[in-house]
Amino acid sequence: MHEVNVGRKVLSDYRSIVPKDLMAEIDELGERLKGRRVLHVNATAFGGGVAEILYTLVPLVSDVGLEAHWQILTAPPEFFNVTKSFHNGLQGHEVDFPPEARALYEEVCRANAAELTHPYDFIVIHDPQPLAMRNFVALDEDHSTWWIWRCHIDTSTPDRALYEYLLPSINRYDAAVYTLADYVPEGLSVPVREIAPTIDPLAPKNMQLSAEDATYIVRQFGIDVTRPLLLQVSRFDPWKDPLGVVDVYRTVKARHPDVQLALVGSMASDDPEGWDYLERVIEYVGGDPDVFILSNLDNVGSVEINAFQSHADVILQKSTREGFGLTVTEGLWKARPVIGGAVGGIPLQIEDGVSGYLVHSAAECAERCLQVLDDPVGHREMALRGKEKVRRDFLTPRLLRDDLRLFADLEDGRIRS
C-alpha cells in the first residue's frame, strides 16, 4: 500500500461556517478518543468522491487529536477491471466474475493486508476494492482493532452471485457504514450506521470564488460568458448519463438557441471504462461547437471545477444511479440551481421544487432547465435554500462528528449486531 500525504487542516477554520453545537460535540469526542490510531484504505488517491472526502477528513481527524493515516491499494491495472465490474454488479448490473478474476482480487487483497504491520485502533475500508483485506487478518475477539467497511455505493439491488461472494467478507467487519439505510442489502449480519458524505467548504473546489474570477476562468476554456451555460461535472460513466444530458441540451437549445453545455469529467485511475465512454460521448455530440467536453487532461483542476459550478446557469446531475452525488452538494453549495435525477442520494440533498429539482427523464429535465433559464431571479431563493441545506447537513465537520461518534460507540459497546 502507499501512504497518501494529506498535509494539514485545522478544524477551527470551520468554526464560523458550521453550527456551534456540532463543533462542541467534535471537541468532546476528540478529547474522548485522543491518540487513537485510524487508518483509511481505498483504491485511488485521485478522481471520484472517496478520494475527495479523504483529502479533508483525514487531516481533520488528526487535528482533533487522533493519529490518522490514508493508504491506497497497490494493484496491477487488471485488478481495476475486476473491481469496476464489482462496482457495476453492486449497482445492479449482471456481471461476469470468472475464477481468474476472483483469484486476482483475493491475491491483491492478501498482499495489501500483509503490509498492515503498524497497529491501528480503527481501520476503515472504503468500497469493494479493498474489502477482502479483512479476510487475511485474523479475527480478534478483544478488538484491539475495530474494522469498519464504508460502502459509498448504492448496493440495494446487487447482482446476486457477486453479492453472495462478497457477503462473508463484509460480515467479518465490526460495523458497516452506508450512505442510506435503503442501500443495505439482505443478509448482512454486522451492525450498520447510516452516514452521508460531505464536502469541504474551504477546499479550492468549494471556497468562495468571485463572479469575476469564475467568469475569467471559464472564458479560458472557450465558454461565451454572455450566453447561458448548462453544466454536468461527472466521470464519463453510463450511470451518470452524459448522453441523456446531451439530449436535454438539444431540447433546451430548440427554445434557447444560445445555450451552451459543458461536460466536465475526470479520468479516475481506477475507472478503466472511462476512456471508452468518453469516446462515445464525443461521438454522440458530433462536433457541436456549443458543447464543451473537458477533463483533468485539459487542466481542469479543483479551482476550474469551482469556476464552472459557480458560473453555470444550471447544474445538472442526471444520474440513473448515484450513491450520493458530491457534485450535487458542490453545486448547491455554490447557490446555483441544481437539477438531479431522482435516484440514490440525490433526493437526500434536493427537496423537489424547494431546494432544486428532481427529475425522472430527459424531457422532464429539459423542462426544468427551461424554467430556470426563463426565470433566473425567481430561482434565486430556491438555490439559497439548497445552500443552507448543505451548510446544515453536508459539510465535512458533520462527517467528522459522525465518524468519531461511531468510533466511540464501538469502543463503548453501543454498537452490536
Cα angle 217, 269, 208 (rounded to 5 degrees) comes to 30
> Shortest distance, CB of residue 46 to ligand UDP, whole angstroms?
9
Q: Which of 36, 43, 48, 404 binds ligand UDP (CB under 6 A)?
A: 48
State how beta strands 229-233 and 192-194 pair: unpaired
Could you say whether residue 296 binds ligand UDP (CB under 6 A)? Answer: yes
Closer CB to ligand UDP, residue 30 or residue 397?
397
Q: What are 249-254's contacts with CB under 8 Å, separation 24+? A: 249/291, 251/362, 251/363, 251/366, 252/366, 252/369, 252/370, 252/373, 253/290
Binding region for ligand UDP (CB under 6 A) out of 8-16, 104-112, 224-232, 318-326 = 318-326
x-marked contacts with ligand UDP along 336-365 as a string, rule CB under 6 A? ------------------------------
- The Cα-based distances of 305 to 12, 153, 202, 300, 411 in angstroms read 26, 23, 14, 7, 40
Closer CB to ligand UDP, residue 46 or residue 136?
46
> Shortest distance, CB of residue 149 to ligand UDP, whole angstroms?
17
The closest alpha carbon to 400, from 3, 7, 15, 29, belongs to 29
Going by the DSSP 8-state scheme, the letter that residue 352 receives in this structure is B
Could you say whether residue 127 binds ligand UDP (CB under 6 A)? Answer: no
Closer CB to ligand UDP, residue 112 or residue 266?
266
Q: Which of 121, 127, 330, 402 binds ligand UDP (CB under 6 A)?
A: 330
Residue with cell 427523464: 361
> Shortest distance, CB of residue 210 to ligand UDP, whole angstroms?
20
Closer CB to ligand UDP, residue 88 or residue 410?
88
Could you say whether residue 326 binds ligand UDP (CB under 6 A)? Answer: yes
Q: Where are the alpha helices (DSSP H) in 127-241?
A: 160-170, 211-220
Residue with cell 456481471: 95
Q: Which residues contact 83 (CB under 8 A, 6 or more apart)?
A: 43, 105, 128, 129, 270
Q: Which residue is nearest to ligand UDP (CB)?
A: 49
Helix (H, G, I), strand (E, B) or coil at 321: coil
- The Cα-based distances of 304 to 167, 217, 311, 415 in angstroms read 40, 7, 10, 42
Contact assessment for residue 327 and residue 317, using Cβ atoms and an 8 Å cutoff: yes
Closer CB to ligand UDP, residue 265 or residue 337?
265
Could you say whether residue 196 binds ligand UDP (CB under 6 A)? Answer: no
Going by the DSSP 8-state scheme, the letter that residue 182 receives in this structure is G
> Shortest distance, CB of residue 20 to ligand UDP, whole angstroms?
27
Closer CB to ligand UDP, residue 330 or residue 403?
330
- How many residues bind ligand UDP (CB under 6 A)? The answer is 18
> Shortest distance, CB of residue 309 to ligand UDP, whole angstroms?
8
Could you say whether residue 300 binds ligand UDP (CB under 6 A)? Answer: yes
x-marked contacts with ligand UDP along 248-277 as a string, rule CB under 6 A? ----------------xxx-----------
CA–CA separation, 69 vs 286, rounded Å?
A: 45
> Shortest distance, CB of residue 200 to ligand UDP, whole angstroms?
10
Could you say whether residue 308 binds ligand UDP (CB under 6 A)? Answer: no
Could you say whether residue 178 binds ligand UDP (CB under 6 A)? Answer: no
Could you say whether residue 54 binds ligand UDP (CB under 6 A)? Answer: no
The closest alpha carbon to 365, from 247, 235, 236, 228, belongs to 247
Residue ranges in 209-238 that form contacts with ligand UDP under rule CB under 6 A:
233-235
> Shortest distance, CB of residue 336 to ligand UDP, whole angstroms?
13
> Shortest distance, CB of residue 282 to ligand UDP, whole angstroms?
15
Q: Residue 183: phi, psi to the nearest 5?
A: -85, -10
Closer CB to ligand UDP, residue 249 or residue 324?
324
Could you say whether residue 327 binds ligand UDP (CB under 6 A)? Answer: yes
Cα angle 304, 41, 89 (rounded to 5 degrees) comes to 85
CA–CA separation, 46 vs 58, rounded Å?
A: 15
Closer CB to ligand UDP, residue 23 or residue 232?
232
Count of all residues that appear for the chain in the document: 417
What are the grid coordinates assigned to 271, written together? Answer: 475507472
Closer CB to ligand UDP, residue 48 or residue 397?
48
Cα 361 to chain centroid distance, Å, stands at 23
Contact assessment for residue 259 and residue 228, using Cβ atoms and an 8 Å cutoff: yes
Q: Contact residues for ligand UDP (CB under 6 A)?
A: 48-49, 52, 233-235, 264-266, 295-296, 300, 305, 324-327, 330
